[in-house]
Chain A
């Protein structure tokens, strides 16, 4: 099974891939409307917003969580050297 390189989500169904294209390495949530992959800043902001919306955490804590999960993902390696 493929894992999204930008957020870590497992991708099985075509609908879970960016543009429904199973050849892509990133998922539908990590794609921009034009199908390209979101930037580091876009993804981080999106993750923070999502954590606040779904779990109600403090903004600073949410940012820490977003960074810690991005640190482990292949798409963002260069941002953590």
Chain B
């Protein structure tokens, strides 16, 4: 059983993680750790009791984000049977952390290499489910004969273009909520035979 002190330590760690999500989503990955400490309501030094370095905190966060996202997409993809349903699952998972994800794709090159790799592997999970659905639908002759990677990259390109230009497309409300159905419908129409 955990002692009271361990429980308290665990709860402080959780607070720091939640604060970091919020601060990075709002200010980007160059935000000072002092801002995270303030948001979490802890002293600056407390952060480094839980994470040995800024790099460790960021890496943990992106892996945690990736694990959650990967699991959500996996579970939803298994129940979804066609491309539209998979893309809907993809956007639903992203919509929960829209601003954090936008920061992640916009500021990727600022992150440590390990963290960038962790993020690349999250996209591979989506690519895996995407390829499974497309191959299944391709067997039913329902989909145009386009190389798999180009089909996936076209979807990701479209999605990221909208997200990276959220300030123009949807400055005041969540972008995926507003454009998700249109993007999915259009992409599905483009690849259909």
Q: Cα distance A69–B118 when bound, in Å? A: 7
Chain B: minimal CB distance from A47 (Å): 8
B106 interface contact, C-beta 8 A: no
B65 interface contact, C-beta 8 A: no
Taking chain A's interface residues, is the majority helix, strand, or loop, or is none over half, making it mixed? Answer: helix
Kindly report which residue of chain A lies nearest to residue B63, judged by CB atoms. Answer: A72
Chain A: minimal CB distance from B100 (Å): 21
Q: Cα distance A53–B149 when bound, in Å? A: 6
- C-beta contact mask, A49-72 vs B, less than 8 Å → 1, else 0? 011111110000000110011000
Among B71, B74, B75, B131, the residue within 8 A (CB) of A54 is B131
B152 interface contact, C-beta 8 A: yes
Residue contact B114 to A68, C-beta cutoff 8 Å: yes
In the assembled complex, which residues on chain A have CB atoms less than 8 Å from the CB atom of B78?
12-13
Q: Cα distance A71–B136 when bound, in Å? A: 31
In the assembled complex, which residues on chain A have CB atoms less than 8 Å from the CB atom of B127?
51, 54-55
A9 interface contact, C-beta 8 A: yes
Kindly report which residue of chain A lies nearest to residue B123, judged by CB atoms. Answer: A55
**Best-surrounded residue of A13, A51, A64 (most CB of chain B within 10 A):** A51
Residue contact A56 to B153, C-beta cutoff 8 Å: yes
Chain B: minimal CB distance from A26 (Å): 16
In the assembled complex, which residues on chain B have CB atoms less than 8 Å from the CB atom of A56?
147, 149-150, 152-153
In the assembled complex, which residues on chain B have CB atoms less than 8 Å from the CB atom of A65?
117, 120-121, 124
Interface size class, chain A: 10 to 19
In the assembled complex, which residues on chain B have CB atoms less than 8 Å from the CB atom of A13?
78
B51 interface contact, C-beta 8 A: no
Among B70, B74, B149, the residue within 8 A (CB) of A55 is B149
In the assembled complex, which residues on chain B have CB atoms less than 8 Å from the CB atom of A69?
117, 121, 124
B128 interface contact, C-beta 8 A: yes
Residue contact A55 to B153, C-beta cutoff 8 Å: yes
Residue contact A68 to B149, C-beta cutoff 8 Å: no
Whether A54 contacts B121 in the complex (CB less than 8 A), given A10-B71, A13-B78, comes out as no
In the assembled complex, which residues on chain A have CB atoms less than 8 Å from the CB atom of B128?
50, 54
Chain B: minimal CB distance from A64 (Å): 7
Instruction: List 17 additional contacts besides A10-B74, A50-B124, A54-B124; criterion CB under 8 Å.
Output: A9-B74, A10-B75, A12-B78, A50-B128, A51-B127, A55-B123, A55-B124, A55-B149, A55-B153, A56-B147, A64-B117, A65-B117, A65-B120, A68-B117, A68-B121, A69-B117, A69-B124
Residues of A whose CB lies within 8 Å of any CB of B are 9-10, 12-13, 50-56, 64-65, 68-69
